[in-house]
Structure 1
């Protein structure tokens, strides 16, 4: 087995190039999935879940970590909050901008590493993440950063799962997020 193949299957712990290359390949399809999700019953379920924790009485400054195609960012913006979505993958940020524009949502999207945030300390009222922690080489460093930028008394909401490990055998109706992925990209996942 050559070294490049071994590197693809088993990236180094701190290899963010590997993570970025995977999500670059998935970005457009991922936006399409989130576009469908914004028009599905999941929208109401996620909106209700978020409202249960942050309410809707005041406009909050919210950071969406690893925003992907902007699903949470869009929901939170449409609820009247000031939202910044970050993702390490430039293509994903472009897709999030397209999706937000298509639904007339006002979100600031920035390319940024979730483990090295470029924000002031105590800046956000809420930090939210969906399905990002499993991608991070150093989740302990990420959590330190997320808590650093969170205001005292702020809320950290992290919704996560290991979507790649042992899930590829599930029926597509159960695990539809991977239904259009080429086998080599699925292996990379």
Structure 2
């Protein structure tokens, strides 16, 4: 079964880059939304400074919060325009943060290791999410943690089309916490789930499943 190719996915997100931050939980322009995400990140991260790989960083809003909290983030996104927007956002705030262009499923971080690997709403875009999760766990230092901000917000046949071949994505539309935990448990010393139902996080009331998973190596 054909799956989306990297070029089409990259082009999709390149086209979305200019308006991506219009969503309250993307741009974090509302001070209340921004503070809510800053508080959650602070609760999930080790004490700063920690080395954090922010996968699928988009325009770098969470990357910036991490830098502001004293961490050493590295951003990664498949979309060159998203990555460039993130670089500008971080630089304008006075932070010299590396933002790479690459595939989150196979991060260009050979030989590197991190205290935290972070990904937000990324699993649904991956053709092989289980393999990606194994890779991400392998990038963690001893006692490091994988932080996944995820949800199950629509079925694969609802809403606008993604890209050609998207119907083959295993978790298109998101994934519930149960199946995600089933994949992670063999690779983690501990795993916990934290519901993310507070409307302040999203700038609106939500009616679907949203949560964070924190898996420790």
Instruction: Answer whether TM exceeds 0.5 for this pair.
Output: yes
Q: How large is the Cα RMSD of the aligned pairs?
A: 2.5
Q: Are 1:115 and 2:88 counterparts?
A: no
Structure 2 match to 1:156: 146
Match of 1:51 among 22, 25, 42: 42
Match of 1:70 among 60, 70, 84: 60
Task: Please show how residues 1-189 of structure 1 align to structure 2 within 5 Å.
Answer: 12-33=2-23, 36-55=27-46, 57-120=47-110, 123-162=113-152, 165=155, 166=158, 174=204
**Partners of 2:133 and 2:151 in 1: how far apart?**
16
Structure 1: runs of 5+ lacking an equivalent: 1-10, 176-189
SS at match of 2:19: helix
Alignment CA distance shift 1:27-1:48 (3 Å): same
Larger relative helix fraction: 1
Structure 1 length normalisation: TM-score? 0.74
Structure 2 match to 1:5: none
**1:145-185 residue CA offsets vs partner (Å, 9 max, x unmatched):** 211111121010000235665467xxxx859xxxxxxxxxx
Larger relative strand fraction: 2
Contact 1:126 1:150 in 2 (8 A): yes
Structure 2: runs of 5+ lacking an equivalent: 161-202, 206-217
Alignment CA distance shift 1:107-1:32 (3 Å): farther
Structure 2 length normalisation: TM-score? 0.65
**Partners of 2:3 and 2:26 in 1: how far apart?**
32
Alignment CA distance shift 1:102-1:150 (3 Å): same
Report the number of matched residues: 160
**1:70-98 residue CA offsets vs partner (Å, 9 max, x unmatched):** 01110001100111000011111011112
**Structure 1 ranges of 4+ moved more than 2 A:** 31-36, 101-106, 161-168
Instruction: Report the CA distance between 1:122 and its aligned residue.
Output: 6.3
